[in-house]
Amino acid sequence: VENRGSLEKWLSEVERQEVIYPKNYIKLRHLENHDQNRIASYFDDCNKLINLTALNFFLRGMPFVYAGQEYLNDNRPDLFEYDPVDYETGFNISPLITRFAKIHEDELITSGNLFFLEIKDNPIIKYENKTHAIIGFFKLGSESVVNSYLKDGVYQNLIDDSNIVVKDGKLELNSGPIIIKVGIEAIK
């Protein structure tokens, strides 16, 4: 954001950290803090904000939500003046953040092998061990059909329990993020 780099560059750095940091590292992850503009001030599309938040929670480490981020506030708070959080933005993604946090507790995310399958427009990230895998698909680009890295079938999105159809190795990524957990035999 703010032309400091691309999504691809950021995820490449996250991938590099996986290699250079000790196995037991815990990285603090945030999209906002007190000394930068709100993430919502850069996006007109709330679905992209939801996908970016889901991605932040899907990465290994400790995700933070900053004072009103869950209401998609775009006003940068003033630390030195009374500046209450606006709870009347018309948005409240707290229930989604609760789901993201629950998924984040999965053992695969904390200790599985991490693979960045796609790091450009629509990031696709996979964690796996010998028996299971969890894959996250995040809609930040314009393409709506993406490689699934899964065998054809119907899978459950852990975020909203919806059915996700994989056909010819592809799935539709329309607006919201998708996170699927499978047995390793379902990986293509």
pLDDT in tens, 66-93: 999 999 999 998 889 999 999 999 999 9
User: Tens digit of pLDDT for each residue in 26-41?
Assistant: 999 999 988 889 999 9
In a domain, 148, yes or no: yes
Average pLDDT rounded to a whole number, residues 161-169: 98
Q: Taking a C-beta distance cutoff of 8 angstroms, is the pair 107, 60 a contact? A: no
Tell me whether residue 4 is exposed, middle or buried, using C-beta atoms within 10 angstroms of its C-beta: 0 to 12, 13 to 18, 19 or more.
exposed
- Both 162 and 92 in one domain: the answer is no
Comparison of pLDDT for 11 and 78, the residue scoring more: 11
User: Parallel, antiparallel, or unpaired for β 62-63 and 28-29?
Assistant: parallel
**Neighbour count for residue 47 (Cβ, 10 Å):** 14
Comparison of pLDDT for 34 and 60, the residue scoring more: 60
Q: Return all residues near 185 (Cβ < 8 A) that are at least 6 apart.
A: none
In a domain, 2, yes or no: no
| pLDDT over 70 percentage in the chain | 97
- Both 49 and 128 in one domain: the answer is no
User: Tens digit of pLDDT for each residue in 82-140?
Assistant: 999 999 999 999 999 999 999 999 999 999 999 999 999 999 999 999 999 999 999 99
Model confidence, pTM: 0.94
Q: Taking a C-beta distance cutoff of 8 angstroms, is the pair 162, 128 a contact? A: no
Q: Domain total for the chain?
A: 2
- Average model confidence (pLDDT) for the chain? 94
- Both 32 and 61 in one domain: the answer is yes
